Structure 1
Amino acid sequence: MIGIDLFSGAGGMSLGALSAGIDVQQVVELDKYAASTYLANHTPKYGLFNDDIRKFKSSKIKHRDNEGLIIFGGPPCQGFSTSNQRTRSSSNVNNWLFEEFVRLVEEYRPDWFVFENVKGILETEGGVFVQRITERFEKLGYTTSAKLLSAAGFGVPQKRNRYFIVGSLNGTTYDFPTEKFDKIITVQEAISDLPALVNGASDCYVTYNKNIKSSYAKSMRGKLKGCHNHLVTRNNSLIIERYKHIPNGGNWENIPDSLMRNYADSSRCHTGIYRRLSLDEPSVVIGNYRKNMLIHPTQDRGLSVREAARLQSFPDDFIFKGSIGFQQQQVGNAVPPLLAKSIFQSLLKQ
């Protein structure tokens, strides 16, 4: 089956599709740094359109009669996020970019589509966006199925929920894969083998210096001797001092008041701020983890790009481009590849 990835970001969904056996040949992504990362890891036959999707014109993709075509992707989700109340409404123009996804489904008429977004899309404006999207697809003749899935149930060491709408042009009702929680991957299993770092570590490449202790870490390493992107934002001494007071699973509430005086009212801080990850659980959501100051479970520093990528299920041979800030954004915005892989594997069986 041939794939077209819209709003690709760094390529997490494409990685899942490729791992499942889908030949991703056309890609659209606006951000130049995410596009650079995508092309450093994938080589789509028809290239990557690095511009506003509203300027993208559908092109003829050559494929044999027995090859199916699938369009997949996740329109920008920041406006639907439950943590973004300010722009979480129909007045946010970026919330309407799903219309471009629908447009290209109408132009290409793929056998299947997979539409992905955050849980918040179900709640924004009373669900008007989900209703509108579903109606548009069904008017085009697609049989749709939808479900909210937990990434942790598909081998991703992270408590992350994503909403999927899958559509079939041939009348097939898509059966979602079953979540499995009997073997949850923990933070310790995911990142404990990676080299220890100091605050602000900036070496682009580091060699592994610990034995592999989990099958998950082994799968992430592959046959590599070391990894790229094991980089950490440099925090000032006050922030590092705050980190020292936070236990596994704790947050800003564990910080002494004397260290929080620069906040007008520290009691109003979000519970996700200054969160130290728990070793024996999956990670909390890897979103804007630098801004939220997610803390390493045993070291007094923020997460490295590679650690965050591991918690998203990106293997260590996946290279992120751009400055550290852009790398962090790419990782946080991505669809976990292992979650995407499960979706596509199930689709191909059907």
Structure 2
Amino acid sequence: MIGIDLFSGAGGMSLGARLAGITPCIVAEHDRHAGETYLHNHGRPSVFFNDDIRKFEKLPITRKSEIVLFGGPPCQGFSTSNQRNRSKSNLNNWLFKEFLRIVSLYMPEWVVFENVKGFVETEGGFFVRMIGEELTGLGYSFAQAILNAVDYGVPQNRQRFFIVASLGERAFEFPQAHRGGAVCVRDAIFDLPELNNGASTCFLPYVAEPTTSYAYSLRGSQIGCTNHLVSRNSSQVLERYAYIPQGANWESIPEKMMGNYKDVRRCHTGIYRRLAEDQPSVVLGNFRKNMLIHPRQNRGLSVREAARLQSFPDWYHFKGSIGFQQQQVGNAVPPLLAKAIFDKIVSA
């Protein structure tokens, strides 16, 4: 099978596809830095479209294979934490129409649409119904579900919405959740080097042996890995970190230390959250802005730690400045979650 990856970002879905035996041949991504990361890790596909998706026109595929078209249009406008832009009036909320337009150009055997859980709820389900109607009109049958990445070997509670469509009447059943306990934060990142606030040395050798099968699988045969970058927080922020136990958030900080907030009671529950080492991570999202805290060290998460919590292997190198790297990791579809979907398609 070959793949068409739309809105590819740094390549989380493409990596999941490759792990399932699908080769991405056409890739479209507008952001230059995410595109640089994609090319560095995947190599150049037959077509790499690094421009506005609205300018994309059909390009020929010479290889005779079943096509799986997949992608996740920008999701910020559908997030439950972004109530201001969760409406039909937000133009970015309509980019899924470009996804459907390209489906109609290629008429692939399989289609995988991914987005945040909030996509289902926005405008009373208006967008979900529209996608279903258009796919049906093109001759596809489809199934839809909300999956939690933690159920597929990812050490993170991250719920995502999927539509999987097949051309014709081939039925699709979503993968069953893995049996056994969830992978926790300690399993995922505690073999990585200790870092300081504002750490900026990209490559570091491993200093401890992996103690879990999860860490071992992501390390492979490498002697070290990259992206050990941490945002530099002010001394005021670091003082706040010290008050927060594992699993708690900003509410553990003395109110007198939160004076720069106009109304501290309106802070989001995800702000200043210290990860609990014996549990899966909370959803990463914009982990720099939310100031997610390392379980034991008074600092934010490094890019590599966040990548581990997303199930990216250690050889996967993120490009651009630290801010762009953080955005790429936070926006990505966890590769192991994507692989679970693609495995079911390959075996259908």
Q: TM-score range, shorter-chain basis?
A: over 0.9
> Which SS does the other structure have where 1:124 is aligned?
helix
Which residue, 76, 83, 86 being the options, matches 2:84? Answer: 86
What's the counterpart of residue 267 of structure 2?
Answer: 269
Structure 2, unmatched stretches of 5+, are none
What's the counterpart of residue 332 of structure 1?
Answer: 330
Which residue, 167, 170, 177 being the options, matches 2:168? Answer: 170
Matching of residue 19 in structure 1 with residue 19 in structure 2: yes
Take 2:120 and 2:89, find their aligned partners in 1: how far apart are those partners? 16
For 2:257, give the aligned amino acid: L
**1:46 shift after superposition:** 1.4
Q: TM-score, normalised by structure 2?
A: 0.99
Take 1:161 and 1:247, find their aligned partners in 2: how far apart are those partners? 25
**1:43 shift after superposition:** 2.1
> Which SS does the other structure have where 1:123 is aligned?
helix
What's the counterpart of residue 53 of structure 1?
Answer: 53
RMSD: 0.8
Take 2:47 and 2:35, find their aligned partners in 1: how far apart are those partners? 11
Q: Which segment is superposed worse, 23-32 or 165-174?
A: 165-174
**1:258 shift after superposition:** 2.1
Take 1:62 and 1:23, find their aligned partners in 2: how far apart are those partners? 14
Take 2:97 and 2:263, find their aligned partners in 1: how far apart are those partners? 41
**1:278 shift after superposition:** 0.3
> Which SS does the other structure have where 2:164 is aligned?
strand
Kindly indicate whether the alpha-carbon contact (under 8 Å) linking 1:152 and 1:181 is maintained by their aligned counterparts in 2.
no
What's the counterpart of residue 32 of structure 1?
Answer: 32
Aligned length: 348
Take 1:95 and 1:264, find their aligned partners in 2: how far apart are those partners? 30
Which residue, 117, 134, 137 being the options, matches 1:136? Answer: 134
Take 2:255 and 2:214, find their aligned partners in 1: how far apart are those partners? 39
Residues 250-294 of structure 1: CA deviation (Å, up to 9, x unaligned): 100101122111112212211110000000100000100000000
Q: After TM superposition, which residue ranges in structure 1, 4 or more long, deviate above 4 angstroms?
A: none
Structure 1, unmatched stretches of 5+, are none
**1:315 shift after superposition:** 0.5
For 1:165, give the aligned amino acid: I
Take 2:26 and 2:42, find their aligned partners in 1: how far apart are those partners? 11
**1:181 shift after superposition:** 5.1
Take 1:277 and 1:91, find their aligned partners in 2: how far apart are those partners? 36
Kindly indicate whether the alpha-carbon contact (under 8 Å) linking 2:9 and 2:331 is maintained by their aligned counterparts in 1.
yes
Q: Which segment is superposed worse, 201-210 or 43-52?
A: 43-52
Residues 149-186 of structure 1: CA deviation (Å, up to 9, x unaligned): 01000000000001000110131121110012522000
